[in-house]
Amino acid sequence: MLNANVKDLLNQQVNKEFYSAYLYLDFSNYFETRGLDGFANWYKIQAQEERDHAMLFYQYLHNNNESVTLDAIAKPDKVLDSDMTVLKAGLEHEEYVTSLINGIYAAAYEVKDFRTMQFLDWFVKEQGEEETNANDLISKMELFGSDPKSLYMLNSELAGRTYSAPSLVL
């Protein structure tokens, strides 16, 4: 049986991950309207990943005989007024999600919930990758974004991203 605080934090994370999917769909929508289909693709795949992350938390709770409370998903509220604003908002959001995962991990550690800590290990690693990817996008945009030919090449690179479901065993 899960500690009540750990259970609540895990349940909140289900909803936070679904919000992340909404946010990244909003980013994808922004880039679609800009004609940058590669960037739009990149964020659509991010949205898929976030939905899968939500479902991993959902399944983990059920595997531990806990019910899940699905709350309303807030509408993304970021003002998307430039390509760089979107990319920086993505990094900021990933750093926020990292803080949430770390908070759940700390709560599990406090009550010696080693099973939940082991479950979260994958997310800790994943968040490191997510922050690196977001930083890399910002760096590439800073280097190439002002040159239309380079932006076209970067957009083409991002269009090649494909989805791969997480391989976390619950």
pLDDT value for 22: 97
Q: Tell me: the pLDDT tens digits for 5-44? A: 999 999 999 999 999 999 999 999 999 999 999 999 999 9
- Bigger pLDDT: 61 vs 170: 61
pLDDT value for 169: 59
166 and 52 Cβ atoms separated by less than 8 Å:
yes
pLDDT value for 145: 84
168 and 122 Cβ atoms separated by less than 8 Å:
yes
Q: Is pLDDT at 104 greater than 70 in this prediction? A: yes
pLDDT value for 1: 84
- CA–CA gap between residue 50 and residue 101 (Å, rounded): 13
Residue ranges and CATH numbers for the domains of the chain are: 4-159 (1.20.1260.10)
Both structure tokens of 139 = 């760096």
Q: Is pLDDT at 170 greater than 70 in this prediction? A: no
Q: Tell me: the pLDDT tens digits for 48-75? A: 999 999 999 999 999 999 999 999 999 9
Q: Is pLDDT at 96 greater than 90 in this prediction? A: yes
Q: Is pLDDT at 166 greater than 80 in this prediction? A: no
Percent of the chain with pLDDT over 70: 98
Average per-residue pLDDT for the chain: 95
Q: Is pLDDT at 108 greater than 90 in this prediction? A: yes
The mean pLDDT of 94-103, rounded to a whole number, is 98
The three-class DSSP label of residue 66 is: coil
16 and 100 Cβ atoms separated by less than 8 Å:
yes
Q: Which residues, including other chains, have CB under 8 Å from residue 107's CB and lie 6 or more apart? A: 3, 5, 6, 9
- CA–CA gap between residue 37 and residue 158 (Å, rounded): 8
Q: Which residues, including other chains, have CB under 8 Å from residue 154's CB and lie 6 or more apart? A: 38, 140, 141, 144, 145
